[in-house]
Amino acid sequence: MFDLHRLRLLRELKHRGTLAAVAAALSYSPSSVSQQLSQLEREVGVQLLEPVGRRVRLTAQAEILVDHVEAVLERLERAEAELAGSLAEVSGTLRIASFQTAALALLPTALSLVREAHPNLRVHLTQAEPEEALPALLTHDFDMVLSEEYPGSPIPRPAELEQEDLCVDPVRLAHPALDASHTPREALRSLAGSPWVMEPEGTPARHRAITLCRDAGFEPDVRFESSDLLLHLRLAERGHAAAMLPDLLWHGTGPTLPLHPLPEGRHCRKLITAVRRGGSHHPAVRAFRKALHEAVAECTPARG
């Protein structure tokens, strides 16, 4: 019989990449993690790790073993959900990660709804971008992640996760000089000579924005980079930059500058909730997803 604790360490190494990262996440020393994995190799009877420079990587046999560990952990997630579901009250702790606009627009309302319906449920919230939060969900740093997906830039959907669509959020062109009579393509081309504010390189939002501009026939002059969409809004309001802003940024208030639709097929992002496979039926997850849908219904859409 293999030791489950050591099997978890092997799985953590696959997802975190280094012994040092595993040790830091679990409050162990790297030597302790290495010793535990060496012991697992002796139990299994095959080599699980091989050196690559100063690091190690999983062997093909270790990958096979981790696949089975994932299945075991999924059953444990289901067992935890069933145990929690057998209780009269929803309680415990739910750790959530969310990107900025969803955290600002939806989380306060969702938290109020959950507090009223389930006062014994403790919710921890961390603001984190999907690129960082989804891998952390796999390594059990979070229990639920609010993520986003842009047209043409689908997010990875690992088999170890269960993802559910939450809502569609329109994204609009924003600048004080926009002409409402223009078509979406004309409006975008009219800002070809303007400075732009965009999210950092490598993000799906940046990729989508650059693609839209190039499809309209120009290369945008990106002078400002930030993942903070409130900064995008402030720069656009003052005329310092053109921006592409999601409706959730207004969360119940009216727009503060002219907005214009983006070209059809590229004008919306999708909001998604993700949990580990087996966790969808946990009462805390169900309760918070329900609260999020109610929060979406309460949001007043922006008017372009």
Report yes or no on whether pTM surpasses 0.85. Answer: no
Give the pLDDT score at 266. 67
Distance from C-alpha of 295 to C-alpha of 205, rounded to nearest angstrom: 24
Residues 6+ apart with CB under 8 A from 38: none
CB atoms within 10 A of CB 130: 22
- Going from the first residue of the chain to its last (304 residues), give the mean pLDDT of each consecutive group of 10, the final group possibly shorter: 83 86 82 87 88 86 88 83 82 94 94 96 94 88 93 75 93 93 93 96 90 94 95 96 94 87 84 92 95 88 47
DSSP code, position 150: B
CA quadruple 228, 231, 233, 237: dihedral, nearest 10? -170
